[in-house]
Amino acid sequence: MKSSPTALFWRAALAIVVGGIAFAWPSITIGAFVIVFAIYAFLAAVMEFGQAFAAGRIGPVAGHLALAVLDVGAGIIALAWPGITALVLVTVIAVWAFLIGVMEFGMAFRSGETAGERALLGLTGLVSIALGVAFATRPDIGAITIAQLYGLFSLVSGISSIVVATNLRRGGQLAPVGRLAA
């Protein structure tokens, strides 16, 4: 499927603008993340509420209604206390990074892996553990870091998309991934 170079260019420009905002004003980005989380919680509540009335037995109905109430509560809490919500979200990311790091580091000692794979798994695990510890220790700085990393990612993604759009506009072909152009 071909992509329109113009559409790709405008998407890239939007990514650069959003990335610049996220990088320059991380507190606005953190607030936006919290609002998106609240919207997600409210949408999840609607879905659970709908599933409650689609269930045929009382057990699933009660469970879905309980989850809907919890989702509404999470959305309200996120909007009422966005600062605490951001810190909790960063703490969840910290726990996730730490646990993934421990598992990756443990996988480095499995048999059947090459030395290079073991080294990469071990290194990745240690970096993930360090990230988890850093975010858990200072979730306030972790939230800013996440927002700025998102901004940096958006900037780099937007710039690379502009390069691709320019190449497509000139009628150039992109080499498939894994194949070098001659």
- Give per-residue pLDDT as tens, 140-161: 888 999 899 889 989 999 999 8
The span from the CA of 130 to the CA of 125, in Å, is 9
The reported pLDDT for the residue numbered 103 is 94
Structure tokens at 172: 């150039």
Task: Determine, yes or no, domain membership for 175.
Answer: no
Q: Domain count of the chain?
A: 1
The span from the CA of 11 to the CA of 38, in Å, is 25
- Give per-residue pLDDT as tens, 75-133: 999 999 999 999 999 999 999 999 999 999 998 888 777 888 888 889 999 999 999 99
The reported pLDDT for the residue numbered 171 is 75
Task: Determine, yes or no, domain membership for 98.
Answer: yes
The reported pLDDT for the residue numbered 47 is 94
Q: What is the DSSP letter of 108?
A: T
- Give per-residue pLDDT as tens, 50-86: 888 886 666 678 888 999 999 999 999 999 999 999 9
Task: Determine, yes or no, domain membership for 148.
Answer: yes
Give the residue, 175 or 43, on which the prediction is more confident.
Answer: 43
Q: Which domain holds residue 31?
A: 5-169
